[in-house]
Structure 1
Amino acid sequence: MFSNIRENSLLSSCFDNDIRMPIIQNNKYRPPFYLFNQHVETIVPSALRKVKGVNYRRERIETRDDDFLDIDWIQNDNSRLIIASHGLEGSSDRPYILGIAKLFSQNNWDVLAWNCRSCSGEMNKKEFLYHHGFTQDVEEVVQKARFHNYKEIVLIGFSMGGSLTLKYVGENSNNLYPEIKAAMAVSVPCNLSSSSKMLALKKNKFYQNRFMRKLDLKLRAKNEQFPGLLEIKPWKDFNSFHEFDTHYSAKIFGFKDAQDFYDNVQCYPYLKDINIPTLILNALNDPMLTGDCYPKNIAEQNQNISLELTKYGGHVGFLQKKSPYTYAEERAFEFFNNKVS
């Protein structure tokens, strides 16, 4: 099952000897031949990949601000737990979360996959939804996990979930719970301003429009839940996420505009403070990332961070030939097994 790990890994010997390599240029990962560009690499795994055999047990937890989160467990009395965070408008049922859940649960790990507010199939109770830096909900989930007395906990996040993961371990660097041993982020927009500019490009507007269309439906439902809360505009009236976030996200969360919102919620400023082993896996052909989304300077300065850059992979893609798991999933399994007992 793990032949691809052995073939693709550049770091197994380095991790075994506890040698740090902050920036890893991975030239070995190659997608299957039919994934011939960054868009196909991104869309096919999201739309067509099926992961079977994952059976969650759902639990609803009440948040401290009188809302709720739906979390999904796979528990087999293991002492190790992986907490998985999904991307923007995703859920615990996305294939990249299911892949992690299946791989780890079949190999002596318990799994907790959680859903951001409004992402579990039921609208949340508060006036707001969630965002890339809404780490108060990560804390709620971690606190629930600690109640089960796991000896070792690791965190993984994909795209927005990666941003939540990195910001959480960075902002809590001085008081991180001792059970949390390592973290990983995949296809993470470390700099939201840079990412929003990439999404505004004509060649990438498909992704931007898909996100805005889905969020538009939720915001309309939220406005029905709280009449007069928002000035609803058709999502097609916005030319960019910057405009969308200035009109909605910034106002909902009390920021001046989109730039103020991005500057305050993104994970980038917190990367320098991370003090547990952390792997960031970003593809250089990711249609949603550019600039500081690839935090090379920080990885060079912070020996706790390894930044792995692949030539291919798209956004949360990383499909592999002859493997049921993506390179990101197998890489996570390798990384975390080298960081916990």
Structure 2
Amino acid sequence: MINSFSPAPGLGNRHIQTVFSRFHRASPWVATGCRWFNMPDGDRLALHFPSPLRDDPSCPLVLILHGLGGSVESPYVQGLMEVLPNYHFQVAVMHFRGCGGVPNRLPRAYHSGDSEDPRWLVNELKKEFPLTPIALVGFSLGGNVVLKMLGEDGGCGQVAAGVAISAPMDLHACSRYINTGLSHLYERHLIGELRQSLLNKAKDPQIAAALPDLNYRSHFADFRHFDSAFTAPLHGFRDVDDYYTRASSKPLLKDIRTPTLIINAIDDPFICPSAIPASSELSSTVELAVSERGGHVGFIGGSVWNPSYWLEKKIPHFLGSVVGLPKEVQQEDSLSQVLESH
């Protein structure tokens, strides 16, 4: 399916789409509270929310999973977190282990197939808010985690709906693709952030003793070297190829039984086009929205002087169609679309 996104004039380039929001929305603007959840293995997860959560079946909870090196302060998270309450959704953001500037307690961290942590958190939230539907929205790495989790759970999970944006569904292909051309610049930036995160963790002598040598530069040459040295051994994979195979969500898409939306752009500098699934690789509950342009977690329309963030309409519309929006919200939204079209 080709989605309805069209880039703003002057913002059609895939790299501009990818980085524009970091300059246009350089500072976080949605304040949040934070709650820490202690996990069975002795580690902990942070949950951020702009308003206290409550058990309310008329206000579903949207749990957002950020991308690699992201956090509640990422512009794409801030934007979605701001608009979702307008559609009568509650919203919360899960920080993967060690993200948000606070090192986690164990040598392990998180990875592209880390579905156990959000599954555990969803189950904890359902114990506290049993009447509240929960939807998952994941960006980039977080999107792959959402899809993998929904595929593993089939129809037996606690999630009412899922959305994945710019997800690297085939890690083998995407690890090669991001190591080519200008995409390699993003790779270098992300690996630099990962190395700094490990250096912060290594201030704890016990954790430092369990990590490979952080001064061995070859470990940080590209994602394949990094994942071979750190991700695979620290998270129980046999090697990097075993990690890429078992963590990729694409083979599991046919097993998803939860209403799910996948959003990707063909020109994404992070995602190999071959990683985007064909319709035949999806279950009947999965909707695929692919555009020619949009970059990586970009999808910026409108104009340069008055940009509009298409994801911040598309995602609430889809979630509302699954879990239901109040009639007055649907009417207000329909009116705003009519006004925008003129």
The 5 Å alignment of 1:29-68 reads 29-50=5-26, 54-68=30-44
Partner of 2:167: 188
TM-score by length of 1: 0.86
> Is the aligned partner of 1:149 residue 2:130?
yes
Partner of 1:283: 265
2:258 is paired with a residue whose SS is coil
Counterpart among 138, 156, 159 of residue 140 in structure 2: 159
Check 1:52–1:134 CA distance in 2 against 1; reply closer, same or farther (3 A cut): closer
How many residues in Structure 1 have an aligned counterpart in Structure 2? 314
1:25 is paired with a residue whose SS is coil
1:227 is paired with a residue whose SS is helix
Of 192-201 and 257-266, the range deviating more from structure 2: 257-266
The 5 Å alignment of 1:1-341 reads 24-26=1-3, 28-50=4-26, 54-73=30-49, 74-75=51-52, 77=54, 78-79=56-57, 80-146=60-126, 147-177=128-158, 180-225=159-204, 226-229=207-210, 230-235=212-217, 238-299=220-281, 301-321=282-302, 326-341=309-324
Q: What one-letter code is carried by the residue in structure 1 that aligns with 2:44?
A: F
Give the RMSD, CA atoms, in angstroms.
2.0
Q: What one-letter code is carried by the residue in structure 2 that aligns with 1:163?
A: N
Distance (whole Å) between structure 2 residues aligned to residue 335 and residue 187 of structure 1: 16
Is the Cα–Cα contact under 8 Å of residues 287 and 315 in structure 1 kept in the other structure? yes
Q: Deviations over 1:48-103 (max 9, x none)?
A: 32576523221111111111111012347553111110000100111111111111
Q: What one-letter code is carried by the residue in structure 2 that aligns with 1:167?
A: K
Q: Which runs of 5+ in 2 are unaligned?
A: 325-342
Partner of 1:16: none
Q: What one-letter code is carried by the residue in structure 2 that aligns with 1:290?
A: C
Q: Which runs of 5+ in 1 are unaligned?
A: 1-23
Q: What one-letter code is carried by the residue in structure 1 that aligns with 2:193?
A: K
Distance (whole Å) between structure 1 residues aligned to residue 38 and residue 315 of structure 2: 30
1:168 is paired with a residue whose SS is helix
| Deviation for aligned residue 1:272 | 1.4
Distance (whole Å) between structure 2 residues aligned to residue 223 and residue 157 of structure 1: 28
Q: Deviations over 1:221-271 (max 9, x none)?
A: 333422332122455764431122112212212323221111112212221
Partner of 2:340: none
| Deviation for aligned residue 1:206 | 0.8
Of 324-333 and 275-284, the range deviating more from structure 2: 324-333
Distance (whole Å) between structure 2 residues aligned to residue 109 and residue 280 of structure 1: 20
Distance (whole Å) between structure 1 residues aligned to residue 29 and residue 72 of structure 2: 14
Identity score, percent: 27
Check 1:235–1:103 CA distance in 2 against 1; reply closer, same or farther (3 A cut): farther
1:113 is paired with a residue whose SS is strand
